[in-house]
Amino acid sequence: MRIIGTGSAHPKRTLTNDELSKMMDTNDAWIRERTGICTRQVITDEHLEDLAAEAAQQALDDAGIEGKQIDYIICSNVVNEYVTPSLASIVEGKIEALCPCVDLNAACTGFIYAIDFAEALLQTDRATNILVMAAEEPTRMVNWDDRSTCVLFGDGAGAMVVTKGDDLKAIKVSSKSNLDVLHYKRLLEPSPFITKEEEHKPLYMAGQEVFKTAVTSSLRDLLSVLDEAGLNKEDISYYILHQANFRINDFIRNRFGVDTEKFPINVNKYGNSSSASVPMLLDELNRTGRLKKGDMLAFSAFGAGFTSGACIVEWNK
Ligand code: UT7
C-alpha cells in the first residue's frame, strides 16, 4: 500500500482538567503527572458519523480523489449511535462513494488491523483505492463517576486513503483473550426468551495491568516489525503510537534511546481517542508539514482484547 491522503476531525467541546476537578474528586496535577493529558475534545451535539465523514472527506481532498473513486471502506470503531448499519456504510453515503463497506472492532488496535486488511485487499487485486479510517466516542462508554477512567478519554476520527504501492514494510497484529483487564458491556433489547441476568457495565479498566501489558506488547511488536523490515530503531523518522498515556510512550522511547522529536504526542490535547488516535496524529504530522518523502513511520497500538499491533510504513506522498 501507499498512503496518498490523510484527514481528521474533532468534536468542538474542549474539556479541561480543571473542569473535571469541579465534577469529581480529581485535579489537574494528578491527571497531567499520571497521563500527560491536559484537555480532551468530547462529543456534545455532534454525531460521530459526521466527524467520521469529515475526516474521510479531508483524506480524499488531500489525496486529490473523489468518493466515487474509493473501492473499499474499512472503519475501525468500538461504539457509535448505530449498531447497524456499519459506520463505514454511513460514511459511504456522505462522501458519495459506492463500494463494499465494513467496520471492524479490535478496540484501540483497530486502525492497525484495518491496515492489515487493506494490504490484503490491495495485494489480492480486490481494491485499488481504500479508505482506511477510525472513529471513536469512548466518552459514551465510560462511567462518569469513575475518576480513574473517565478523565482519560476523548472523541475523534482519523482517516487515510491508501492505494497500491510498496510502502508497507512490515506489519504484526495479535490478540490474547483477557476480559478481566478491560471491557465494556452494553445492555441489549430485552426478549421474551431471556432468562439470564443482564447488566450494563460501563468501561472497566484495571489501569496498572493495562499499563504493563501495553508497554510490553508495544515494545515487542515494534521490535518485531523493525526486525522484519530489516531496520534499526534510529531508521524510524516518527514513532506514531496509540495516544493512551504519555508515560507509556515515553517509557518505550527511553528503552529505544531515541529523541523526543521522534515520538510525537497529542494525548495532551485529545486524551485517549481509542483507535482514532493513530490516524489523528498521522494527519497532524502531515498537515503541519513534518513528514517528508522517504520518512519511515512506525505505528503501534494496544487495547482491549487484549489486542496489539504495529507496522512500518514509508511515507511517499
Ligand atoms: O486505550 C486503552 C488503554 N488504556 C491505558 O493505556 C491505560 C493504562 N493505565 C494508565 O494509564 C494508568 O494506570 C492510569 C492513568 C489509569 C492510573 O495511573 P496509576 O499511576 O496506575 O494510578 P493508580 O490506578 O495506581 O491510582 C493511584 C491513586 C489511587 O489512590 P490511592 O488508592 O493510592 O489512594 C487512585 O484512587 O490515584 C487515585 N486516582 C485518582 N486521583 C485523582 C485514580 N484516578 C484518579 C484521578 N484523580 N482521576
Residue 239, number of CB atoms within 10 A of its CB: 22
Substitution candidate for ligand 1 out of 34, 136, 218, 277 with most atoms within 8 A of CB: 34
Q: Which atom of ligand 1 is nearest to the CA of 210?
A: 8
Looking at 3.40.1740.10, 3.40.47.10, 3.40.718.10, 1.10.579.10, the CATH number of the domain 2-166 comes to: 3.40.47.10
- Residue 126 — very low, low, confident or very high, per pLDDT cuts 50/70/90? very high
pTM comes to 0.97
| C-beta of 270 in contact with ligand 1 (< 6 A) | no
Q: What percent of the chain lies above the pLDDT cut of 90?
A: 98
Only one residue has cell 468518493, namely 67
Using the Cα atoms of residue 199, residue 205, residue 209 and residue 210 in order, give the sign of their dihedral.
positive
Which DSSP string do the residues of 257-268 spell out, in sequence order?
Answer: T--GGGS---HH
- Give the model's pLDDT for residue 199: 85
Neighbouring C-beta atoms of residue 207, cutoff 10 Å: 15
The active-site residue, picked from 77, 129, 150, 242, is 242
**CATH fit for domain 170-315, picks 3.30.450.40, 3.90.550.10, 3.40.30.10, 3.40.47.10:** 3.40.47.10
pLDDT at residue 210 greater than cutoff 90: yes
pLDDT at 200: 86
Distance 37 CA to ligand 1 centre (A): 13
Q: Is 77 in the pocket of ligand 1 (CB under 6 A)?
A: no
Residue given cell 451535539 in the structure block: 45
CA atoms within 13 A on the CB side of 98: 1
- The predicted-structure confidence for 26-39, as pLDDT tens digits, reads as follows 999 999 999 999 99
Interval 3-23: pLDDT, tens = 999 999 999 999 999 999 999
pLDDT confidence of residue 131 = 98
Could you give the percent of the chain with pLDDT greater than 70?
100
Q: Give the domain ranges of the chain.
A: 2-166, 170-315
Q: Is 47 tagged catalytic? A: no
Amino acid at 142: V
Average confidence (pLDDT) over 131-146:
97
The reply to whether 170-315 shares the fold of 2-166 is yes
Q: Is the pLDDT reported for residue 201 higher than 90?
A: no
